[in-house]
């Protein structure tokens, strides 16, 4: 369920110069822009003092094969460095409403709030009991928030595989109202369905601090069964407005502001097809821009998957890059301070790659490289181990901000702390809202990448 397929339509702009072009696009004005710091509830923890958002996705399914538990977010030091944790994902049913169930490929309530967590795996060191109404990931997130009062947890709705019914659910005012009401009832108000003794009215009340709309993609193709229509563009705006309206109405009863974010594409064609850039940020607190999957082993030729700037010698006309993606949103009227740049905690890989005088870059391949969970897709911590194994060499394009591994046959494009340092410098120079990580389970046990994000966004101040 990684995010994929930016859309292979050619981009309308080349890479931008960080120092000059992006400030010009924003008009150099940030006064009155949405302030990331204003969304923090508590002064506790390093992230609370940062003017930037640090957003990390926790994947529902990561608790299985990867054995990445909510506790790991705490023990790695990651929780203290995040402002927002997005829980991926909630699904929308054919009836146009959010739901919780145990249906293969459709819902995993067992992971969310049913499975008992033992003392060794628990954030607070206490084992779940049979009597407690909330268990599983949700209860662990509640424990995580208790230790990190500054941290906001958002429910992310959709994703690549679960955006199937967004278009239908957003078509009319009545259907939008019903969708939003169902999502808020289950997740914000915490009225989880009672399943085998777990859940029930108010069982998850106070857990989620907002909603992340992860519709991939309005008015353009996504996963094979995802419905899309031209009118999705206006319907997305209306859906964001309805979420804002209902979140604010409920917030007046709880005396709390609930955040609303959205995951946004990098491809100009998808932006133009599906998003009214100037309008949606009236309702969103921020939007996370896809800064990865620019290329991958679904293509025959190796390339960068997440470069800061498009390489000068790329064989792809008007190639994708982080500066291109951010620049395209800025030119369409998105406020810089509400744009959060996504960075990958995984890499894309090809095999059967000749050197070609470029250490495998821009070369033909025979297919996806072998990997732990999915061919052609590997977590950062595993790629770091490859880099340290002696069989791979790390290569860098320092000017354009990307790195790759090559062993003479296999080629991996990925972000490491040095690349992230360049990207966070770009975020600060362009006066953006922060950084987002997909996904936390790809990091090392000591949170190497999230630490690089935190340090890069909040460099030490030197006093004379």
In the chain, domain spans: 21-347+417-457
Residues sharing a CB contact under 8 Å with residue 305, sequence separation 6 or more, in sequence order: 292, 293, 294, 295, 296, 344, 347, 348, 413, 414
pLDDT in tens, the chain (464 residues): 344 334 323 233 333 333 344 544 333 332 223 223 333 333 346 787 889 999 999 999 999 999 999 999 999 999 999 999 999 999 999 999 999 999 999 999 999 999 999 999 999 999 999 999 999 999 999 999 999 999 999 999 999 999 999 999 999 999 999 999 999 999 999 999 999 999 999 999 999 999 999 999 999 999 999 999 999 999 999 999 999 999 999 999 999 999 999 999 999 999 999 999 999 999 999 999 999 999 999 999 999 999 999 999 999 999 999 999 999 999 999 999 999 999 999 999 999 999 999 999 999 999 999 999 999 999 999 999 999 999 999 999 999 999 999 999 999 999 999 999 999 999 999 999 999 999 999 999 999 999 999 999 999 876 54
Residue 398 CA, chain-centre distance (Å), reads 25
Fold of 21-347+417-457: TIM Barrel (3.20.20)
Catalytic residue among 100, 143, 216, 378: 216
Tokens of 339: 């744009």
Q: What is the pTM of this model?
A: 0.91
Dihedral sign computed on CA atoms, order 302, 308, 309, 311: negative
Supply the pLDDT for residue 308: 98
Check if 216 is active-site: yes
The C-alpha atoms of residue 11 and residue 108 are separated, in whole angstroms, by 37
The C-alpha atoms of residue 336 and residue 132 are separated, in whole angstroms, by 44
């Amino acid at each position: 369920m990684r995010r994929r397929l930016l859309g292979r339509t050619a981009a309308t702009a080349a890479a931008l110069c960080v120092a000059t072009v992006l400030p010009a696009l924003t008009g150099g004005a940030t006064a009155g822009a949405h302030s990331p710091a204003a969304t923090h509830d508590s002064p506790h923890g390093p992230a609370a003092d940062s003017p930037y958002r640090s957003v990390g996705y926790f994947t529902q399914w990561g608790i299985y094969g990867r054995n990445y538990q909510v506790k790991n977010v705490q023990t790695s030091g990651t929780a203290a460095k995040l402002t927002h944790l997005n829980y991926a994902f909630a699904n929308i049913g054919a009836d146009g409403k959010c739901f919780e169930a145990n249906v293969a490929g459709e819902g995993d309530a067992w992971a969310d709030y049913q499975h008992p967590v033992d003392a060794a795996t628990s954030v607070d060191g206490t084992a779940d009991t049979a009597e407690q109404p909330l268990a599983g990931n949700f209860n662990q997130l509640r424990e995580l928030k208790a230790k990190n009062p500054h941290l906001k947890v958002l429910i992310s709705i959709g994703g690549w595989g679960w955006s199937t019914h967004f278009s239908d659910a957003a078509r009319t005012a009545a259907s939008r109202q019903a969708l939003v009401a169902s999502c808020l009832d289950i997740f914000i108000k915490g009225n989880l369905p009672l399943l085998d003794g777990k859940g029930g009215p108010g069982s998850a009340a106070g857990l989620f601090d907002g909603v992340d709309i992860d519709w991939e993609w309005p008015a353009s193709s996504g996963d094979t069964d995802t419905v899309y229509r031209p009118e999705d563009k206006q319907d997305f705006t209306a859906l964001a407005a309805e979420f804002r309206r209902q979140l604010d109405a409920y917030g007046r009863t709880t005396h709390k502001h609930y955040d609303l974010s959205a995951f946004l594409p990098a491809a100009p064609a998808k932006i133009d097809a599906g998003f009214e850039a100037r309008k949606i940020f009236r309702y969103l607190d921020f939007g996370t821009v896809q800064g990865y999957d620019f290329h991958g082993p679904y293509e025959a030729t190796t390339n960068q998957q997440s470069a800061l700037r498009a390489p000068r010698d790329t064989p792809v006309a008007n190639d994708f890059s982080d500066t291109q993606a951010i620049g395209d949103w800025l030119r369409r009227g998105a406020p810089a301070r509400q744009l959060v740049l996504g960075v990958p905690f995984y890499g894309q890989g090809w095999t059967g790659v000749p050197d070609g005088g470029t250490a495998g870059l821009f070369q033909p391949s025979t297919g996806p490289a072998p990997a732990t969970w999915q061919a052609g897709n590997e977590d950062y911590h595993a790629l770091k181990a490859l880099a340290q194994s002696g069989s791979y060499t790390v290569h860098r394009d320092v000017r354009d901000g990307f790195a790759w591994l090559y062993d003479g046959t296999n080629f991996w494009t990925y972000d490491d702390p040095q690349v992230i340092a360049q990207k966070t410098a770009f975020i600060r120079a362009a006066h953006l809202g922060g950084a987002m990580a997909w996904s936390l389970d790809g990091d090392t046990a000591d949170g190497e990448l999230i630490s690089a994000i935190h340090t890069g966004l909040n460099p030490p101040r030197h006093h004379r």
